[in-house]
Amino acid sequence: MKLILLGPPGAGKGTQAQRLQESYGLVQLSTGDMLRAAVKAGTEVGKKAEAIMARGDLVPDEIVVGIIADRIEQPDCKAGYILDGFPRNVAQAEALDKMLAGKGTKLDAVVQLEVNDEILLGRIEGRAAQTEGGPRADDNAEALAKRLRVYHEQTAPLVAYYKQRGVLRGVDGMRDIDEVTRQIEGVLGLGEKKGKLA
Ligand code: AMP
Which helix (H) or strand (E) segment is 185 a member of? Answer: helix 177-188
Cβ contact 79:198 at 8 Å: yes
Quick one: pLDDT band at residue 133, thresholds 50, 70, 90? Answer: low
| Residue-wise pLDDT tens digits, 144-191 | 889 999 999 999 999 999 999 999 999 999 999 999 999 999 999 997
The answer to the question of residue 198 being in a domain is no
Domain that holds residue 101: 2-188
Quick one: pLDDT band at residue 118, thresholds 50, 70, 90? Answer: confident
Spatial distance between the Cα atoms of 67 and 69, rounded to a whole number of angstroms? 6
The answer to the question of residue 195 being in a domain is no
If 0-12 CB within 10 Å is exposed, 13-18 middle and 19+ buried, where does residue 100 land? middle
The answer to the question of residue 171 being in a domain is yes
- Would you say the CB of residue 173 lies under 6 angstroms from ligand 1? no
The answer to the question of residue 194 being in a domain is no
| Residue-wise pLDDT tens digits, 2-60 | 999 999 998 999 999 999 999 999 999 999 999 999 999 999 999 999 999 999 999 99
Closest ligand 1 atom to residue 143 Cα is 10
Question: Coil, strand, or helix at residue 10?
Answer: coil
Cβ contact 2:68 at 8 Å: no
Beta pairing partners, 171: 113
CATH number at residue 14: 3.40.50.300
Extract long-range pairs of 72-75: CB within 8 Å, 24+ residues apart.
72/29, 72/99
| Ligand 1 pocket mutation pick from 5, 6, 13, 35 by most atoms within 8 angstroms of CB | 35
What does the CA dihedral 12, 13, 19, 21 come to, rounded to 10 degrees? -170
Question: Going edge to edge, which strands form the sheet with 168-172?
Answer: 27-30, 81-84, 2-6, 109-114, 168-172
Question: Coil, strand, or helix at residue 16?
Answer: helix
Spatial distance between the Cα atoms of 195 and 198, rounded to a whole number of angstroms? 7
- What's the CA-to-centroid distance between 58 and ligand 1, angstroms? 6
* More confident of the two residues 104 and 123: 104
Supply the residues annotated as catalytic. Answer: 13, 88, 127, 136, 147
Quick one: pLDDT band at residue 97, thresholds 50, 70, 90? Answer: very high
The answer to the question of residue 84 being in a domain is yes
- Would you say the CB of residue 63 lies under 6 angstroms from ligand 1? no
* Number of domain units in the chain: 1
Quick one: pLDDT band at residue 76, thresholds 50, 70, 90? Answer: very high
